[in-house]
Structure 1
Amino acid sequence: GVLLGLAGPASGVLLPMFARGDQLARANSLYSMVLRVAPILGAPAGAFLITVGELWLAMLVGAVTGAVWLGCLLHVTHGFVRPTPEPGVSLVKRSGDGFRLLARHPRLRWMFVAALCLDMAFSWPAEVALPLLVSEHGWGVGAVGVVLAAFSVGALGSSAVGAAMAHRIPMFVRLVVTGAGLAAGILVMALMPSVVSLTAVAAGVGLLSGLNGPAIVTLYQQSAPEERMGAAMSTLSLAGIGTAPISIAVFSSLSLALGVQTTWLLCGAIAFVSPLAAVLALRHPAKEAESAPVRLPVPAAV
């Protein structure tokens, strides 16, 4: 978990180095599409290896794919130069850079709120509430797989569309309109009377998610000072994957008193804060880079 927490922001720093302007939106959509495809292909493959072979074989394949990943990183970062350190600034002092960025840059701050509320509202329904709701209705455990598969297919499809033409879709649509649709979808999912209707709404939520997620990352990258990109992406990761355990703990406790459906509706209401925060973020211009910049480790060829 610690290593993934370091690798995620680092990946977010790399993309803006290779893609600029309109191409950055397409690059983030393509990256999102790869993240969707990987578990779809990897999970069945791993299960097959464990079923027909032994556990050590599946673990070996996992280790090999990790080595390939490392080799790719070594290739794309070859020739990068070390950033020039700021005189008198220690690593401990810079450890709070991400939060200082949020305090100084209103656009980043509102985008942080948008990502935080959306992930907080989505983690508990997907991880906990969905199986509980299915159990309450007596639909069978297979319904959980069908609903999650529909969401993944929808997200994969819209990510592919974004990779091809995200730069042609206005940021307001990709960020605010889809955010409002996501919130409405989360709200409606709690009220669906059948597996078919729940699956259809989940597919729609996935379609919107495949556009909204990369849009949040793209605007965050474009708004952050280049010399503080690592700190900025770390705070975005905190608002994203870092919220899952908090969401599960908070809303699971609330559901004991309010019930599953009512708590799910509360999550949908919280999700509506995301598009509102996105509107406020778009109203603030991207701030210029701070003084005394630290050069990014750009490729030597550049």
Structure 2
Amino acid sequence: MASQLDTDSPASTRPALPRTYLVWLAGTRASLLGDAAMYFALGWAASAHGGVLAALVLTAINLPRTVLLLLGGAVGDRFGARRVMIVGDSVMFTAALLLAIVSFRLGTPSWLLVVVAVVIGTVDAFYLPATGSMPRRLVGKEHLPRALAMRQAGGQIASLLGAPLGGVLVAAAGLSGVAVVDAGTFAVVLVVLVCVRPAFDVERSSREESLLAGVVDGVRLAVKDPVLRPALLLTAAAAGFLLPVVSLLNPLLAREHGWGAGAAALVAGGQSVGMVVVSLVVTRRGAMSRIGTGAAVGLCGAALGIAAVAIAPVTGVAVAGGIVVGAGSGMFACHIGPLVLTSIPETHLSRMQALLTLVQSLALLGANNVLGVLADAETATIAATVCAVMVCGAGIVGLASKPLRRLHRG
């Protein structure tokens, strides 16, 4: 993998990423760790009320997030990503403190869990597009691949540690304790955002344009642009047929082969390790010079890993396949992110991040249900094989796309 990366200059001579970006990244990763712990705690509390309420809590997060995402992107481009993030963190800091107080006094009634979930989903709809556009505002285009790779590695590590942290906190202090910790992480991000200002001036969208017109204009740009259009399609393919392999099909494959939960956990851990390692390599060495090709190659590599997981005769082969899946996923993410951010007009940064998130959410929602039905009707092996074929096909389409293949980093 390292031999494919751009090595025009030794890593030791590469300029360090801006300190403002590193401070912002540390704050947001701390907040992400708190959020991961909170998601675990909410799920655990909801499960005590039964499966229906647990599903309702998840829906209460995902529904407003999905419905309001494009509007959130338009708001970020109109009023500025940093301002939107400050408002969002302030709302979540207040909500987390109120949750801590109410849950300490009343426990975890169902209405409280649903209300908190709605607040989280609504804030996410505005916050995610804004935070997704911040790297472009804090670092130069030439540093974006390394900056985004570091962001991805940090996010993956926070996600890995979040659930165990949530379990420990729930056991020690209940939902109210988790809420206090989460509020603390939001306070950290608020301080960081107040102190850190974007180093690069980014033009905002016109105030004469309505927010609805801004939403439509963002979609129109993505559909017409020769680079953004295939990039969005590849992102949808990755979300629909790559992400479900570990979250949905991996446990089904383990049960199908009679391996047990431990083997499924090892495969999932291998996927995380592969993603983190590739992200750190890109952080250190930089991305491929042909950044569109790098994204497509990542999908092709992930397809090989999915095939290995699908047909693995023993646990060791499945774990190795999971590592390859993670490495391919990391390769794709480390190239598609900067590819999109450097191809977007400055007036559309948040809107395109919103569209990327929406495309992933919708693709994942549809694919999870289809693949689940296919696994029940046939086998999990067949469902995973379909994923391998589709991801490989998407990678080949990316390699065949002239706008992507000819696109150089920066």
TM band (smaller chain): 0.7 to 0.9
Match of 1:226 among 342, 346, 353: 346
1:114 positional shift: 0.7
Tell me the SS of whatever aligns to 1:24: helix
Aligned to 2:329: 209
Tell me the SS of whatever aligns to 1:83: coil
Q: Deviations over 1:59-115 (max 9, x none)?
A: 21122112222332333347989936253x211222222320122201100000111
Task: For 1:82 and 1:170, locate their aligned partners in 2 and report how far apart those are by CA, in whole Å.
Answer: 27
Aligned to 1:119: 239
Tell me the SS of whatever aligns to 1:190: helix
Task: For 2:335 and 2:298, locate their aligned partners in 1 and report how far apart those are by CA, in whole Å.
Answer: 10
Tell me if the contact between 1:176 and 1:275 (Cα under 8 Å) persists in the aligned partners.
yes
Matched, 1:251 2:357: no
Aligned to 1:31: 151
1:24 positional shift: 0.7
Tell me if the contact between 2:292 and 2:339 (Cα under 8 Å) persists in the aligned partners.
no
Tell me if the contact between 2:306 and 2:325 (Cα under 8 Å) persists in the aligned partners.
yes
Flag the 1:74–1:244 CA change in 2: closer, same or farther, 3 A: farther
Tell me if the contact between 1:10 and 1:230 (Cα under 8 Å) persists in the aligned partners.
yes
**Residues 276-285 or 188-197, more deviating:** 276-285
RMSD: 2.4
Aligned to 1:197: 317
1:120 positional shift: 0.4
**Residues 5-14 or 100-109, more deviating:** 5-14
1:254 positional shift: 2.7
Aligned to 1:183: 303
Aligned to 2:275: 155
Match of 1:68 among 175, 188, 191: 188
Tell me which protein shows more helix as a share of its residues. 2
Uncovered stretches (5+) of structure 1, i.e. residues with no partner = 287-302
Task: For 2:133 and 2:378, locate their aligned partners in 1 and report how far apart those are by CA, in whole Å.
Answer: 41
Aligned to 2:206: 85
With normalisation by structure 1, the TM-score equals 0.85
**Residues 48-57 or 199-208, more deviating:** 48-57
Task: For 1:160 and 1:285, locate their aligned partners in 2 and report how far apart those are by CA, in whole Å.
Answer: 23
Q: Deviations over 1:155-194 (max 9, x none)?
A: 1111111111124664255322222111221122111111
Runs of 4 or more consecutive aligned structure 1 residues displaced over 6 Å after TM superposition: 78-82
Flag the 1:177–1:52 CA change in 2: closer, same or farther, 3 A: same
Aligned to 1:56: 176
Aligned to 2:221: 101
1:216 positional shift: 0.5
Aligned to 2:265: 145
Tell me if the contact between 1:29 and 1:162 (Cα under 8 Å) persists in the aligned partners.
yes
Task: For 1:140 and 1:110, locate their aligned partners in 2 and report how far apart those are by CA, in whole Å.
Answer: 39
Matched, 1:128 2:248: yes
Flag the 1:284–1:234 CA change in 2: closer, same or farther, 3 A: farther
Bigger RCO of structures 1 and 2 (CA < 8 A, at least 6 apart): 1
How many equivalent residue pairs?
285
Tell me if the contact between 1:98 and 1:234 (Cα under 8 Å) persists in the aligned partners.
no
Q: Which amino acid aligns with 1:69?
A: V
Q: Deviations over 1:2-26 (max 9, x none)?
A: 2323322212211111222321110
Task: For 1:126 and 1:116, locate their aligned partners in 2 and report how far apart those are by CA, in whole Å.
Answer: 17
